[in-house]
A and B are shown apart, each in its own frame.
Chain A
């Protein structure tokens, strides 16, 4: 009788050990699943990019004088050296990778928003099409942020500035 009880308690302690392992494994899996999934910071990155560019183009409500001359002509030189002038770096992370950013800035007059007067395009245009995909399909592929604001030329003309910034970096930000 005592021998039977001993065997039973042995089986029960093995069972408890198995349950303990099961629960421990479950907790490890839960922590791994939660902390293993990356934070998607691409939207914020794209927004910060837009804000930096907005600061560069229109520092205090007026278009940067390096971009728009007093006679209100957009300067090609600014477009050519846009990245260095605005302190923006769109480099690829390694030699074998493409640039993961795309920027598009359109200047129109506030009164005639369809006629683009000047345009600045930088980065990799290959994933531009992904932004036009429906719904949430494109969210894992690329994050796109569109912003629009108004600024003024020296003569008092109002300009509408539309900025599109895109960040891909899917491998680092989405599972």
Chain B
């Protein structure tokens, strides 16, 4: 009788262990399916191991900034720049208008 009790106890342990293993596997399968949905491709810098590996260069913004530097009248240029800043606030660019402007300026005027 005591032997049977021990056997029942052992069986329960194994059954619970099996259930835990199955639940854990299901949890990880579900987790991997969730992770699979987050797979995305971005433009990366050539050096992957850096603090911020994504490239934020926005070519479309650069196009507008090239035009900005071609405007001759200072007043019109300032108005144009304000327009670009408004667009930046509306999150139309990936890049910072100010930083990109400085970078182009360095390229143009050294």
Contact = CB atoms under 8 A, between A and B. Distances in A.
Interface string A15-41: 100010011001001110110110111
Contact of A26 (B29, B40, B41, B68): B29
A61 B70 contact: yes
A19 B70 CA distance: 71
B67 A61 contact: yes
Contacts, number: 87
B48 interface: no
Interface residues of B, number: 34
Contact of A151 (B41, B63, B69): B63
Counting contact residues on chain A (CB < 8 A from B), the size range is: 20 to 34
A133 interface: no
Interface of B: 14, 18, 21-22, 25, 28-29, 32-33, 35-37, 39-43, 59-61, 63-72, 80, 83, 87, 92
Interface of A: 15, 19, 22-23, 26, 29-31, 33-34, 36-37, 39-41, 44, 50-51, 54-55, 58, 60-62, 110, 147-152, 156, 158
